[in-house]
Amino acid sequence: MAGADALHPRLTRGFLKYSQHRGFITDAARVCRPRDKLMVERSVQYARERFFKGEDFRDLAQLREKAARWCRDVPGMRIHGTTRRQPLQVFLDEERQALLPWNGEPYEVTHWRTAKVHTDHHVACQYVPYSLSSTLCPPGQQVEVGPGVKLVRIFNRGQPVKVHPRRPRGGCSTDNADYPAELSAYTLRAPDGIKHTAAEQGPAIAEFAYRLFDGPLPWSRIRQGLKPIRLGQRYTSQRLDAVCRRALEVYLVDVGRVERILVQSLDQQETPEYPPSLLPGRFARPGGVFAHGKAHIMKSTESTESAELKTGGQP
């Protein structure tokens, strides 16, 4: 019993699930009221003193085999001190037809425990994290976790919220739908989702995001891709789209510089226009270098004749 009450007794979750699975109703006795109990008691003490005491069993299989034979032959055939009848005969005549048929599957005994939802929207159970919905179980919420043989069931205030397949130690079971919508792109490392969100804010923002993820490792730029989306929410998508358009004109794909432009309101300042100017040539020569006039030709001829006279006509 998890809570003793004469009108509304509260059962433990393990026994409550077992009674619901087998289809019987538990009628609890009141505290310190022995007359509310069954007429036949002390069965546990009888089995402990007559069967377990002084016995040594090789394994669990041998224990079960001997226990079944002992229950059928020894206590089942004795004359009970209270009813003055054989328990096995009473079971066959009156109780057996009242039982529900067994489906052939053994019941999974679940050890329920209380766990806390962590900031990563997971709850730890036997060294394995299991995800929970961020809306039903926010971080910090206390939930009840029941690990079974094949499934792990999670309840919140008596209501089922999640069922995961059982994982071995060191594993992880995560449902991507459990993450908040604003964190799904980062947790899933999906650049396509960021591109789609950027396209909704403006064409220049979409082109900026496309060029940002244009590389061999796009998932490594998830944090940079989310930054322009937050900037659009803070400074309006119209301003961000205009800044991205001007940045793309000069091939500037830098999220940090785009943020500084918005923070310092540089996009709202008028850009000064400077008149175009032609830069002088680096190896410019005077204009007379290429002036091949008559005086220049005669001067060159006289210089050649004087050089031939000095050398005696030898070239």
Contact 193, 185 (CB under 8 A): yes
DSSP 47: H
pLDDT of residue 116: 95
For residues 38-62, average pLDDT: 84
**Rounded Cα–Cα distance for residues 225 and 210 (Å):** 9
Instruction: Return the closest-CA partner of residue 239 out of 212, 260, 211, 268.
Output: 268
**Rounded Cα–Cα distance for residues 171 and 122 (Å):** 13
In the chain, which ranges are continuous DSSP H helix?
Answer: 13-22, 43-47, 60-73, 87-90, 184-188, 191-201, 203-212, 222-235, 237-249, 255-263, 294-310
Instruction: Summarize pLDDT for 95-133 with one digit per residue, the tens.
Output: 898 888 888 888 888 888 999 999 989 999 999 999 999
3-class SS letters over 236-280: CHHHHHHHHHHHHHCCCCCHHHHHHHHHCCHHHCCCCCCCCCCCC
Tell the residue number behind the tokens 């008559």, with chain if given.
294
Instruction: Summarize pLDDT for 249-282 with one digit per residue, the tens.
Output: 989 999 999 999 999 988 888 777 777 777 666 6
The residues near 125 (Cβ < 8 Å, ≥ 6 apart) are 113, 115, 145, 147, 152
The residues near 122 (Cβ < 8 Å, ≥ 6 apart) are 129, 130, 131, 132, 174
pLDDT of residue 30: 87
For residues 212-233, average pLDDT: 87
pLDDT of residue 71: 92
**Rounded Cα–Cα distance for residues 90 and 118 (Å):** 54
Q: How many residues does the chain have?
A: 315
Instruction: Return the closest-CA partner of residue 130 out of 95, 160, 175.
Output: 175
Instruction: Summarize pLDDT for 13-44 with one digit per residue, the tens.
Output: 888 888 888 888 888 888 888 788 776 667 88
Tell the residue number behind the tokens 């001067």, with chain if given.
299
Q: Would the pTM of this model clear 0.75, i.e. be above it? A: no
For residues 150-154, average pLDDT: 92
pLDDT of residue 205: 93
**Rounded Cα–Cα distance for residues 74 and 72 (Å):** 6
Query: Where exactly are the structural domains of the chain?
Result: 13-98, 113-179, 182-268
3-class secondary-structure state, position 113: strand
pLDDT of residue 27: 86
Cα within 13 Å of Cα(148), Cβ side: 15
**Rounded Cα–Cα distance for residues 210 and 215 (Å):** 10
